[in-house]
Amino acid sequence: MLDEKTKKNYERWLASPRLSEEEKQALRSMKEEEISDSFFRDMEFGTGGMRGKLGLGTNRMNSYTVGRVTIAFGLYLLHRYPSAKKQGVVISHDNRYHSRDFALEAAHILNEEGIPAFLFDALRPTPELSYAVRKKGACGGIMITASHNPKEYNGYKIYDDTGCQLLPDDVNEMLRFLNQLPDELEAKAPKDPSPAATAILPPSIDDEYVKEVENCQLNPSLPKQGFKIIYSPQHGASYENAMRVFRDCGYEVIPVLSQCVHDPAFGATLSPNPETAESFIESIRLAQKEGADLCVMTDPDGDRCGVAYRSSKGTYERFTGNQSAALLIDYLFSERKEKGLLSSNGVMYDTIVTSDLGRKIAHAYGIKTESFLTGFKYIGNRIDYYEKLGHGPKFEFGYEESYGCLIRPFVRDKDGIQAILLYSEMALWYHLKGIPLDIAYENLEKKYGYHATKTISVMFEGQEGLREMTSLMDRLHAHPLKEVAGKKIARLEDYQTSLSLDCQSGEKTPITLEKSNVIRMIFSDSSWIAIRPSGTEPKCKFYVEVYQKDNLGIEQRVDAIFASLKEQLGL
């Protein structure tokens, strides 16, 4: 049974003269469940932008919902930047269905508002969009992408003049303009008396970005003969730049050709998400055939990177984002220290759901760390803050557990191409020493302790799913768990109330980060659990890290914690 709001939205679309007869016929053919999910709410623009399934409806990615958000973004830019009509906006997109259409639509709307648009001639990765915003001196950027989501999705991310995604306060300001607009079928861009134009960005942007990536190398002269790398862009936007970087730097790279086609159907992969084992099936198959040493992968919009390697047993194994980053941190900092390049006032940035292992390694090298809420925009903003301040700690590295990292900050978002280049260099460095990467990682664990991490996502699709997820988080905030898998919670961090509670003494201390719908539970041995709804997808994410001085039963303890959570929360 459709509720009143859903029915009203559906009927409004059916009656609208803006829709073609073909679109209306598609609406009439919808089943009730599809109508409910497509129309029960307006597509949400959150702190991570807008992301959802393609299709007709208020809760779908389509030209009408994209157009309304673009009108609001243009109004926001005109309000915030006095010279927005001179600076303009850079627009890029990935390989997905309608990505180019949405990019062109966004450019047209901005032009109507008097704002120039700078568009790439074809798809380009997210990190290059961030770079181009800064290079062009633009006042903002738009990236049309659904990152690593399945083919049914698309999305819309917005950037400020620093090449960084908007922070929540800025998003809220943009939403003020959005909420003043009529609905998505009635909203129209205010026409400037002197409309602007769209220009295609020159190839020099690619040249300069690629050169900056190549300058990230620490040991460019390492001999590369006999060291083979398998690379997949997962049908996405990084292929051309990544292969150019590898060729320039002298690596023997064998691409997974079936996954190098810019296919919106992702026809040659079971998953475009480097976090899943399915995404590596073809890469590992090719690695076995070629006797390769390493597999690297970027996700469709090129901001994330996955890694698999040939182990000491001759098998191919995958690293989690926490594991690969820990190895990379140790490599970067040790080599920079050896070369006199490591700052005496350096800082590394991560997030509150990232493993403690990376922080322990950083501290061992005398590098400070700062942790933020999930979202690379917080890291990008912090880099910009210290840059403008003119003094303060020097950026050494930034990363998230979900395969996103930044080696050098000429980009203000995570950069999968920087990552695959430096992971390749690190793996080659160990290869030349005769140390397989599983042994290198084991040596880190022996030094800093064993950290087993796992992330599980629970989907909450549709109107009923949203209610269930909201209810789950409300219960956790109101009645936090006191014990999980037979062990008591020692400290509770509630980022919605901005309070950290010592569960034994009852003492409360403030949390200085922005408010967010996140709960963290820490055990007395520093193992922890974190729970948060995704900012871009209808799912709730559960993170667990278990810390021990040895690895005896550590994976079983992780599984026991998840089993206990599932039982207590009724999942």
Annotated catalytic residue 147: yes
Contact 72, 104 (CB under 8 A): no
In 171-261, DSSP assigns E strands to: 198-200, 228-232, 252-255
In terms of C-beta density within 10 A (0-12 exposed, 13-18 middle, 19 or more buried), how is residue 77 classed? buried
Q: Are 152 and 180 in contact (CB under 8 A)?
A: no
Q: What is the number of H-type helices and E-type strands within the chain?
A: 18, 23
Q: In what order do the strands lie in the sheet with 346-351?
A: 368-372, 346-351, 394-400, 404-406
Structure tokens at 6: 């859903």
Dist CA 210 CA 459 (whole Å)? 38
Closest CA to 540 of 479, 466, 454: 466
Distance CA 27, CA 318 (A): 44
CB-based contacts of 34, cutoff 8 Å, min separation 6: none
Count Cβ atoms below 10 Å from residue 81 Cβ, excluding itself.
17
CA distance linking residue 132 with residue 138, whole number of Å: 8
Q: Which tokens is 254 given?
A: 């064998």
565 CB-near residues (< 8 Å, 6+ apart): 484, 529, 542, 571
Report the C-alpha gap between 553 and 4 in whole angstroms: 53
What CA–CA distance (Å, rounded) separates 527 from 40? 40
**Is the separation of the CB atoms in 459 and 465 below 8 Å?**
yes
Nearest to 382 by CA among 351, 403, 354, 360: 351
Q: Return the CA Rg of the chain.
A: 24
| Helix (H) or strand (E) run with residue 509 in it | strand 508-510
Cβ neighbours of 512 (radius 10 Å): 6
Question: Which residue reads 């969009």 in tokens?
Answer: 129
One of 38, 92, 130, 147 is an active-site residue; which one?
A: 147
Beta pairing partners, 158 = 142
User: Which amino acid, residue 364?
Assistant: A
Strands 346-351 and 394-400: parallel
Torsion over CA: 206, 208, 212, 217 (sign): positive
**Which are the catalytic amino acids?**
147
